[in-house]
Amino acid sequence: MPALTESIALGRTRAASARKAPSRSLDTLFRTCSYGAALLVLLVLAGILGSILYGGWPAFREFGFGFLTSSAWNVGTEQYGALVAVLGTVASAFLALLIGVPVSLGIAVYLTQLCPGWARKPVAMTIELLAAVPSIIYGMWGLFVFAPLFARFVQIPVSNLVEGMPIVGTLFYARVPSGVGVFTAGIILAIMIVPFIASIARDMLDQIPTVLRESAYGIGCTTWEVVRHVLVPQAAVSIIGAIMLGLGRALGETMAVTFVVGNANRLSASIFDPSSTIASRIANEFNEADGLQLNALMALGCILFVITFVVLIIARLLTRRVQSA
């Protein structure tokens, strides 16, 4: 059946292909190779899931559902729970979206609506280069440049301000104002996802027909009104897809977070306190881990797999639907 569609697509008759017998076997070989390479992609994804499930299974069997709800992480007593790492992952990714989304949309609007023509390319390139910087460099920047400034000018004043207050006091009080913690991780992640969301959102805004924009300006709309009433409704679904894509990246980001999250195992209600994420804990402990600890880390990987892949699938469905529409 595929062979038929292929020969139709190429406008080739069966007689013509039958005439060239020797090159036909080459043809089949080429086709098989490309088919096999494509299937490999499928196999790799299945292999990732399979290997992590296999590695994590002993931990799931040992702790059962309690693995998800326990905040223990004690190598000496072999008690492991995922709660601290899962909460750290979710909290830092959520903060990243909270900070990163408005900034990326602002950049997308600036690039498509406000930026003068001559500056458009260099500015777009600057933002896209942010995506090319390796995550370990973000980690170093976060730890050595950003964290000290953040501790001095934000954490210490805010901690002094909110100390003893209910709710706000617990949420924003830093026991050790060293600049590292969940909030810092969120900011670094925000910087890392901005170029992705901004470039997809810019592409989406660019695809909106100019006529729509011009007619809105023609009846006297301001830029704000054009953005609010014409562009945003048009591109909303795909922008949400782009945001989910950014969320997927924020959840799985490892090196940058490992530098700035503080890598603490303790459960804390304050977003200024050090914590850990799934990825940072795996990166930190994997090489020294053995036995059940290794299984517990693999089980953490399983949870990360499930969370990110659900998010990424939703993201791809949203962005793809727009592309085909």
Partner 1 sequence: MDASNTIAAPAQRRSGRVRQGRRIADRTLRIACSGATLVGALVLGSILVMLIVQGVRGFTPTLFTNPTPGPGSEGGGIANAILGSLILTGIGILIATPIGVMAGTYLAEYGRGSKLAALIRFLNDILLSAPSILIGLFVYTLMVRPMGTYSGWAGGVALAIIAVPVIVRTTEDMLRLVPGTLREAGAALGAPTSTVIMSVSWRAASAGIVTGIILALARIAGETAPLLFTALNNNSWFSANLLGGVANLPVMIYQFALSPYPNWQGLAWAGALLITATILALSIIARLVIKPHASR
Site for partner 1 in 216-255 (CB under 8 A): 222-225, 227, 245, 248-249, 251-255
Rg of the chain (C-alpha set)? 25
272 close to 162: Cβ distance less than 8 angstroms: no
Nearer to partner 1, 72 or 316 (CB): 316
Is 139 in contact with 260 (CB distance < 8 Å)? yes
Q: What is the closest distance, in whole angstroms, from the C-beta atom of residue 169 to partner 1 in the complex?
A: 29
| Residue 256 CB contacts under 8 Å (≥ 6 apart), including other chains | 135, 136, 138, 139, 142, 185, 188, 189, 192
- Closer to partner 1 at the Cβ: 169 or 316? 316
Q: Which of the residues 62 through 101 are near partner 1 (CB under 8 A)?
A: none
Q: Which is nearer to partner 1, 44 or 212 (CB)?
A: 44
Question: How many residues are listed for the chain in this entry?
Answer: 325
Q: Which amino acid is at 179?
A: G
Shortest distance in whole angstroms from residue 51 CB to partner 1: 4
**Residues 287-316 within binding reach of partner 1 (CB under 8 A):** 287, 298, 301, 304-305, 308-309, 312-313, 315-316
> Given candidates 14, 69, 98, 144, which one binds partner 1 under the rule CB under 8 A?
144
| CA gap 283, 304 in Å, rounded | 13
As a dihedral over the C-alpha atoms of residue 47, residue 50, residue 51, residue 53, rounded to 10 degrees, the angle is: 160
**Contact call for residue 8 and partner 1 (CB under 8 A):** no
Please report, as residue ranges, which positions from 99 to 118 form the binding site for partner 1 (by CB under 8 A): 102-107, 109-111, 113-115
- Under rule CB under 8 A, which residues in 23-52 are in contact with partner 1? 23-24, 26-27, 29-31, 33-42, 44-45, 47-48, 51-52
* Residue choice 75, 90, 91, 130 for contact with partner 1 (CB under 8 A): 130
Phi, psi of 203 (to 5 degrees): -60, -40
* Between 159 and 258, CB nearer to partner 1: 258
CB atoms within 10 A of CB 198: 28
- Which residue number, 86 or 162, has a Cβ lying nearer to partner 1? 86
Q: Does 207 bind partner 1 (CB under 8 A)?
A: no
Of the two residues 162 and 185, which places its CB atom closer to partner 1 in the complex?
A: 185
Compute the distance between CA of residue 257 and CA of residue 167 in angstroms, rounded to an integer: 26
Alpha-carbon distance values, 247 to 40, 92, 105 (Å): 27, 10, 15
Kindly state the smallest distance separating residue 10's Cβ from partner 1, in Å: 4
**Inter-CA distances, 180 with 98, 127, 171, 177, 268, Å:** 18, 25, 15, 8, 14
Binding of partner 1 at residue 120 (CB under 8 A)? Answer: no
Interior CA angle at 262 toward 259 and 263, to 5°? 95
162 versus 198: smaller Cβ distance to partner 1: 198
Shortest distance, CB of residue 261 to partner 1, whole angstroms? 13
- Residue 80: beta bridge partners? 73
Q: With respect to partner 1, which residue has the nearer C-beta, 123 or 171?
A: 123
The 252-291 contact track toward partner 1, x by CB under 8 A, reads xxxx---x-------------------x--xx--xx----
